[in-house]
Amino acid sequence: MAPMTPKEQDWNERLEREVYQRTLALQDSLKRLEALNSMRAQFVAIMSHELRTPATALIGYADTLKEKWAKLPEKKIQKYLDVISEESSRMVTLMQEIFEISRILEGKLSLQFQTADLIPLIGSAVKEFRLRYADKSFGFKETADSLEAKVDTLYFKSALTHVLLNAVKYTPDKGNILLFVESKGGEAVIRIEDDGPGIPREYREKAFEPFFRSMDNVNRKTPGAGLGLTIARGVIEAFKGRVVVADKLTGKQGCAVVISIPLAGGSS
Ligand SMILES: Nc1ncnc2c1ncn2[C@@H]1O[C@H](COP(=O)(O)OP(=O)(O)OP(=O)(O)O)[C@@H](O)[C@H]1O
Ligand SMILES: [Mg+2]
Residue-wise pLDDT for 31-40, tens only, equals 888 877 777 7
Alpha-carbon distance of 162 to 117, in angstroms, equals: 20
Asked whether the predicted pLDDT for residue 20 surpasses 50, the reply is yes
In this prediction, residues 202-222 reach a mean pLDDT of 80
114-262 belongs to which CATH class? Answer: alpha beta
In this prediction, residues 160-170 reach a mean pLDDT of 95
Asked whether the predicted pLDDT for residue 266 surpasses 60, the reply is no
The confidence score (pLDDT) of residue 216 equals 65
Asked whether the predicted pLDDT for residue 59 surpasses 70, the reply is yes
The confidence score (pLDDT) of residue 218 equals 62
Which of 158, 36, 171, 167 minimizes the C-alpha distance to 97?
A: 158
Using one digit for the tens of pLDDT, what is the confidence trace for 214-233? 766 566 677 788 889 999 99
Is the CB of 234 within 6 Å of ligand 1? Answer: no
Separation of CA 128 and ligand 1 centre (Å): 20
Is the CB of 199 within 6 Å of ligand 1? Answer: yes
Is the CB of 263 within 6 Å of ligand 1? Answer: no
| Domain edges within the chain | 10-105, 114-262
In this prediction, residues 246-252 reach a mean pLDDT of 95
Domain 10-105 and domain 114-262 have a common topology: no
The confidence score (pLDDT) of residue 34 equals 81
Using one digit for the tens of pLDDT, what is the confidence trace for 78-133? 999 999 998 898 888 888 888 888 787 777 788 899 999 999 999 999 999 999 99
Average model confidence (pLDDT) for the chain? 89
Alpha-carbon distance of 113 to 117, in angstroms, equals: 13
- The domain made up of 10-105 is a member of CATH 1.10.287.130: yes
In this prediction, residues 191-207 reach a mean pLDDT of 95
Residue 268: pLDDT band with limits 50, 70, 90: very low
Q: Give percent of the chain above pLDDT 70.
A: 97
The confidence score (pLDDT) of residue 125 equals 96
Is the CB of 230 within 6 Å of ligand 1? Answer: yes
Q: Please give the number of the atom of ligand 1 that sits closest to the Cα of 231.
A: 18
Separation of CA 46 and ligand 1 centre (Å): 17
Is the CB of 213 within 6 Å of ligand 1? Answer: yes
The confidence score (pLDDT) of residue 109 equals 80
Q: Which residues, at least 6 apart from 23, have a Cβ–Cβ distance to it below 8 Å?
A: none
Give the Cα-Cα-Cα angle 46, 227, 109 (nearest 5 degrees): 105
